[in-house]
Structure 1
Amino acid sequence: MTTDTEMKTSFDFEKELTRWNEFFKTINGPELSTELTPRQLIWKKNKATLWHYSAVERKYDVPIFFVYSLFNRPNILDFAPGSSVIEGLVNSGYDVYLLDWGIAGYEDKDINLEDYIVDYIKKSVQRVLRHSAADEVSVVGYCLGGTLAAMYASIADEPIKNLVVATVPIDFSVAAIPDKLANGIKEGAFNIERFVGVYGIIPPSYVEAMFRSVTSPVYNSPYVTLLTRANDKRFVEKWRRMNNWTKGHVPLTGGALQQINNDLFKENKLVKGEFTIRGVKADLRNIQANLMVVSSKNDNLIPEEQSLPLMDLVSSKDKTYQLVEAGHVSLAISGKLSGILDQWLCARSRKN
């Protein structure tokens, strides 16, 4: 028989009440600021913004230009003090630039991948070179941003010294989604054109649902973890930042979705050398920049097999492939990526 003393020892009502209060405060509280590392706006086009993060003490004269995915906000690259990719790089002596795509509106529905590459990435790199007075640039792409970066590098006139792609989908014959769903999409069971015709741009809720279908039950377990650690202030802050980013999907233009689905997912044109950018073939063999491909061993979105083929498709003489013990997101938020980039880029970014 349990005594009153034993019950009091095993259950602390005040502690449990505090924990539940903190849990509800966290999930219902205001969003945390996503502007952490000091930055300066240097160019805008439509909804997109080009940011400059100045090196704390500049050691290298080849700036780093980041391209992120079209599906999420890029604040995962400046996640939190002490675990920020951008913070780590500026502290190591690099000037860093980031293209933030912003939030597309209905009026942007026809913007496709070619437009993003020519009108946004190419123009941003030109601005980076002008603003930094650098002779060359390092282009770093994350997730679908890596795909766009590789496409751009294949047609670029601008001097790209280093190209780094992390967790990047290149070979779309390898699918991260269930085979039945992948085959259904490829065989036209889901009419993308009709969907785009109705919506114009893909609402964030649809984008989120798409990723949940791939990563479930990953999206549910964080709430259980939060409840058990709601009294840990450091953990709660990190959880809030991660939760904000996870739910921070942005609208995807219909034009981009159609090209992703038809040209990449269904026809795998990039690997086949058939993808064109305003009439110019995006031949990956044109890439001669120093290349680094980074994959995450525990990535549940982009399997290693999607990224690895890039190593053989480029003409680069200096090529590095690295498989990291991390997940799709933890590669960035753990602080690992900034160290990996610094270690590889430092010898390829000419010290002053």
Structure 2
Amino acid sequence: MMEVKSLVNIPVLNLESEKKRWNNIYKVLSEPKPDIESTPRKAVWKKGKAVLWYHAAPEKKYSTPLFLVYSLLNKAYILDISEEGSVVGNLTKQGYDVYLLDWGLPGLEDKDLTLDNYLTDYLEIAVKRAIRHSGAKEISLVGYCIGGMLSAMLTSLTDLPIKNLILAAVPIDYSNAIIPNKWVKALQNGTLNFDRFADAYEVIPSEFLYSIFMALQGFNVGPTVNLVTRAHDQKYVDKWRNMDKWMKDAVTFSGAAFKQMMNDLYKDNKLVKGEMKIGGQKVDLSNIKCSTLVITSTRDELVLESQSLPIMDLISSEDKTYQHVEAGHVSLCLTGQFAFAIDPWLSTRSTRLI
């Protein structure tokens, strides 16, 4: 009898690996969310719900400290989410003292906080406190997403000694926002207005912002698929759990600031037009003259490259650099990659200790 050999290679099922994979999936779905252990820190300033954290470098190499500003719309611990993937931790290991502003969660008593308040009553005062605490003559301001927008606005308005400005995934031009074009047109012609919604809630619920965050990503199922296929890899599972915790750990948002963003930015695009006012003072980005690094990422699902690029032409800095990195909006922080992306540029523009 002729022997028939199969031409199809059937993979051998590794029972131990499969058992570990499905056990990890079950644990992820059933266990409480992981605890996040911060890089060693101490609070050096508080106001309302906001806290300014100081992270000292184990071996300080630069006298110029860093001040990190994250978005108002997400929690700042994405910048310090795990020992290996911590942006803060990796920056301190590179020899920088780091200050991180945690905006906190606004309650009903904070419903009238505007972007003006966040800039002048919180961010500017916190930067002053960091400079005084560090004893440094200058400071580097590092803003991510909405935090980058606020950092750029503050730099254009203040006379604080900001030596370097780093802006990552920063929305400046809202005519090209990631939201659907129909929404943009509806906002611009007034058929879509969030004022009554904000007035009714006073403080925007975290559930609403989480839903918007997910909708803008197209309810991406990729992370869940990745978990199922890579659940045998404990290192990946730990990273996935941290990301999942952060994404679902949504914030509340002041109704007044929400209306201001919807009307002044998404509707009227005032920042890029030079019409934005803070405390009655016009925000003129051409006032930015310090060394500036602008970073965008190739797979950013929330802030388009075209939203960030206009600032390169709007600022007056003679020393300005644009960098496009291989990452997503969240993964650039989650992996700690952001710290290594900015260090080559920043190290040559920070005062090195002898």
Q: TM-score range by the shorter chain?
A: over 0.9
Are 2:328 and 1:308 aligned?
no
Q: Shift of the alpha carbon at 1:83? A: 2.0
The corresponding residue for 1:122 is 124
Partners of 1:280 and 1:230 in 2: CA distance: 53
Residue 24 to residue 286, structure 1, CA distance change in 2 (3 Å):
same
The corresponding residue for 2:274 is 273
Are 2:155 and 1:153 aligned?
yes
Is the partner of 2:95 in helix, strand or coil? coil
Encode CA deviations 1:10-42: one digit per residue, 9 max, x unaligned: 667776565434212212322222233111111
Residue 24 to residue 189, structure 1, CA distance change in 2 (3 Å):
farther
Higher mean C-alpha displacement, 203-212 vs 222-231: 222-231
Judge conservation of contact 2:79–2:336 (CA < 8 Å) in 1: no
**Structure 2 counterparts to residues 79-98 of structure 1, below 5 A:** 79-98=81-100
Higher mean C-alpha displacement, 188-197 vs 292-301: 188-197
Q: Shift of the alpha carbon at 1:221? A: 2.5
Q: How does the TM-score come out when normalised to structure 2?
A: 0.93
Partners of 1:94 and 1:12 in 2: CA distance: 46
Partners of 1:185 and 1:209 in 2: CA distance: 19
> Which one-letter code corresponds to 1:330 in the other structure?
S
Is the partner of 1:291 in helix, strand or coil? strand
Partners of 2:325 and 2:158 in 1: CA distance: 29
The corresponding residue for 1:221 is 222
> Which one-letter code corresponds to 2:140 in the other structure?
S
> Which one-letter code corresponds to 2:82 in the other structure?
A
Residue 350 to residue 15, structure 1, CA distance change in 2 (3 Å):
closer
> Which one-letter code corresponds to 2:149 in the other structure?
T
Q: Shift of the alpha carbon at 1:227? A: 2.2
The corresponding residue for 1:349 is 350
Q: Structure 1 residue aligned with 2:32, among 30, 33, 46?
A: 30
Judge conservation of contact 2:170–2:307 (CA < 8 Å) in 1: yes
Q: Can you give the 5+ residue segments of structure 1 that lack an aligned partner in the other structure?
A: 1-8
Q: Shift of the alpha carbon at 1:319? A: 0.4
**Structure 2 counterparts to residues 5-44 of structure 1, below 5 A:** 16=18, 19-44=21-46
Partners of 2:258 and 2:15 in 1: CA distance: 51
Q: Shift of the alpha carbon at 1:245? A: 1.0
Is the partner of 1:93 in helix, strand or coil? coil
Q: Can you give the 5+ residue segments of structure 2 that lack an aligned partner in the other structure?
A: 1-10
Partners of 1:34 and 1:299 in 2: CA distance: 25
Is the partner of 1:342 in helix, strand or coil? helix
Is the partner of 2:271 in helix, strand or coil? helix
Residue 120 to residue 229, structure 1, CA distance change in 2 (3 Å):
same
Q: Shift of the alpha carbon at 1:217? A: 3.6
- State the superposition RMSD in angstroms: 1.6
Give the aligned length: 343
> Which one-letter code corresponds to 2:311 in the other structure?
L
The corresponding residue for 2:336 is 335
Are 2:193 and 1:170 aligned?
no
Q: Shift of the alpha carbon at 1:228? A: 2.5
Q: Shift of the alpha carbon at 1:259? A: 1.0
The corresponding residue for 2:207 is 205
Percent identity reads: 48
Encode CA deviations 1:259-318: one digit per residue, 9 max, x unaligned: 111111111111111111111111111111111100011111111110011011111111
Judge conservation of contact 2:298–2:324 (CA < 8 Å) in 1: yes
Partners of 1:166 and 1:29 in 2: CA distance: 34
Partners of 2:299 and 2:226 in 1: CA distance: 19
Is the partner of 1:77 in helix, strand or coil? helix
Partners of 1:150 and 1:31 in 2: CA distance: 35
